């Protein structure tokens, strides 16, 4: 099905054409006829199959059908996302598809200018995108109201449960108009039993739509696995980088500590890379993502904070430097490549510890990952190691420095040696107590 066949408003059609979309993906072909007709839909599809575009197109069509709007601080649509990265990505896609539509868009999430977001929201928006925490914060301050929302969209609902946001999510949903007075859409890579319970509680008889059959990984991802010792992982990674011609690659680690160590190793060997993790400042994180999307950064090291919701065109490879402990994270990691019909490769390195996670991952994805055997020529053994002082030292605090015990003792000794006799004489001496003579019993 082509988008031209959907009889969309002209400004929306122009935005779709400018984004380069011509034919619908399977999830879009199944859901758009339902959502454009006003039906509620709970959609399941493999990551990277175009779910975001599906619900945004439905949203813009709904807003065009009612051009009057609500005005004031009453958003017409609410889009909920579990992570900051996903909220940013949805906002970017919404602005791209709606560039000709004229609707105001505001995304709110933690880690960036609080007052700037608050003031922008206070001026009134048509489409509100955000994470639950920041949305609740502004709602309690009565910066905006949810009483006139015409469409609710929940993206990656299963992740809301995983991250413990389900209480916040219910708090927001209970402040919306009744479910039969708004349209409700839910999209996710997985639709578990608890997610469907949420759908039936807050949606109006949703139509469940699923694509991809029993396979939950993207069809066009070529998966491979190398068994390797933990002390040889970087040696093998260097060989794979040279062999695979990795132009734009995401490398995933389980912890920030391992990611930092990997970045230092890559930099010592002339490989430009950056790392993003949960405690990296949001402004810095967004700058790193812009550089990676623009092609200025060939390698992005990330923890699982970046495995969901990021649509980056042209990611040729995903490398699991550490196999994830959660099988779902494996699916979302490799879903960063082979997006929207493109091809991609996912390479996993299983060391002694990571191999323990392999059985659960293969059971979850429903197939075995093809194992590859690396010969000795693939290992790069003469690589450079970063100097021990490569990590930046924390700047010393200003003010009076507290002396160390050895320094204090030295200074005290020096003072004793240089003190004048007069000074010493002035020091009061402790008097000795005289022992009292025992009283004679003969007294």
Q: C-alpha dihedral over 62, 67, 73, 74, to 10 degrees? A: -40
Distance CA(95)–CA(312), nearest Å, equals: 16
- The per-residue DSSP string of 153-201 comes to EEESHHHHHHTT-HHHHHHHHTTSSPGGGSEEEEEES---HHHHHHHHH
**Exposed, middle or buried: residue 271 (CB in 10 Å: 0-12, 13-18, 19+)?**
middle
Could you read off the pLDDT tens digit of each residue along the chain, which spans 443 residues? 889 888 899 999 999 999 888 888 888 999 999 999 999 999 887 666 788 999 999 999 999 988 776 667 899 999 999 888 889 889 999 999 999 999 999 999 987 888 999 999 988 899 999 999 999 999 999 999 999 999 999 998 888 887 788 899 999 999 999 999 999 999 877 777 888 888 888 999 999 998 765 555 666 789 999 999 999 999 999 999 988 888 889 999 999 999 999 999 999 999 999 998 877 777 888 888 889 988 899 999 998 875 555 667 788 899 999 999 988 889 888 888 876 567 789 999 999 999 999 999 999 888 999 999 888 899 999 999 988 765 555 555 555 555 555 444 444 444 444 444 444 444 455 666 665 555 544 44
Distance CA(213)–CA(220), nearest Å, equals: 15
Residue 249 dihedral angles phi and psi, to the nearest 5°: -130, 140
Question: Do residues 45 and 211 touch, judged by C-beta distance below 8 A?
Answer: yes
Q: How far from chain centre, in Å, is Cα 361?
A: 21
Question: Do residues 78 and 146 touch, judged by C-beta distance below 8 A?
Answer: yes
Specify the long-range contacts of residues 115-120, CB closer than 8 Å, at least 24 apart. 118/143
Distance CA(124)–CA(116), nearest Å, equals: 13
DSSP code, position 322: S
DSSP code, position 68: T
**pTM of the predicted structure, to 2 decimals:** 0.72
- Structural domains of the chain sorted by starting position, each given as residue range(s) with its CATH number in brackets: 3-210 (3.40.50.300), 221-390 (3.40.50.300)
Q: Which pLDDT does position 441 carry in this prediction?
A: 45
> Cβ–Cβ contacts within 10 Å for residue 255, how many?
11
Question: Do residues 279 and 302 touch, judged by C-beta distance below 8 A?
Answer: no
- Bridge partners for 207 per DSSP: 41
Distance CA(83)–CA(131), nearest Å, equals: 6
Helices vs strands, H then E, count in the chain:
16, 14
């Amino acid at each position: 099905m082509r988008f031209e066949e959907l009889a969309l408003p002209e400004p929306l059609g122009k935005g779709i054409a400018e984004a380069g979309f011509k034919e619908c993906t399977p999830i879009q072909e199944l859901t758009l006829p339902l959502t454009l007709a006003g039906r509620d839909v709970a959609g399941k599809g493999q990551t990277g199959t175009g779910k975001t575009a599906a619900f945004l197109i439905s949203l813009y069509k709904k807003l065009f059908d009612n051009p009057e709007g609500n005005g004031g601080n009453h958003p017409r649509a609410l889009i909920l996302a579990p992570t900051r990265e996903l909220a940013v990505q949805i906002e970017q896609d919404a602005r791209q598809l709606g560039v000709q539509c004229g609707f105001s868009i505001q995304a709110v999430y933690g880690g960036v200018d609080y007052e700037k977001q608050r003031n922008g929201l206070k001026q009134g928006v048509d489409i509100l995108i955000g994470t639950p925490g920041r949305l609740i914060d502004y709602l309690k301050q009565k910066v905006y109201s949810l009483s006139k929302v015409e469409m609710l969209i929940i993206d990656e609902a299963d992740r809301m449960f995983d991250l413990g946001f389900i209480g916040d999510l219910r708090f927001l949903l209970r402040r919306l108009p009744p479910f039969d007075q708004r349209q409700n859409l839910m999209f996710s890579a997985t639709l578990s039993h608890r997610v469907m319970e949420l759908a039936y509680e807050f949606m109006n008889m949703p139509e469940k739509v699923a694509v991809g059959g029993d396979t939950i990984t993207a069809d066009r991802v070529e998966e491979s696995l190398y068994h390797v010792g933990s002390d040889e992982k970087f040696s093998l990674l260097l060989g794979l980088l040279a062999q695979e011609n990795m132009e734009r690659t995401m490398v995933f680690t389980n912890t920030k500590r391992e990611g930092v160590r990997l970045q230092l190793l890559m930099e010592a060997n002339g490989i430009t890379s950056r790392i993003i993790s949960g405690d990296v400042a949001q402004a810095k994180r967004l700058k790193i993502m812009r550089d990676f999307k623009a092609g200025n950064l060939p390698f992005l090291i990330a923890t699982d904070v970046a495995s969901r919701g990021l649509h980056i065109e042209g990611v040729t490879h995903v490398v699991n430097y550490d196999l994830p402990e959660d099988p779902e994270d494996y699916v979302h990691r490799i879903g960063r490549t082979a997006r929207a019909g493109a091809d991609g490769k996912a390479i996993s390195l299983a060391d002694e510890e990571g191999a323990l996670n392999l059985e659960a991952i293969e059971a979850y994805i429903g197939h075995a990952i093809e194992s590859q055997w690396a010969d000795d020529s693939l290992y790069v053994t003469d690589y450079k190691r970063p100097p021990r002082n490569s990590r930046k030292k924390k700047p010393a605090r200003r003010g009076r420095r507290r002396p160390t015990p050895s320094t204090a003792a030295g200074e005290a000794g020096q003072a004793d040696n240089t003190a004048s006799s007069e000074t010493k004489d002035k020091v009061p001496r402790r008097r000795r107590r005289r022992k009292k003579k025992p009283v004679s019993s003969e007294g």
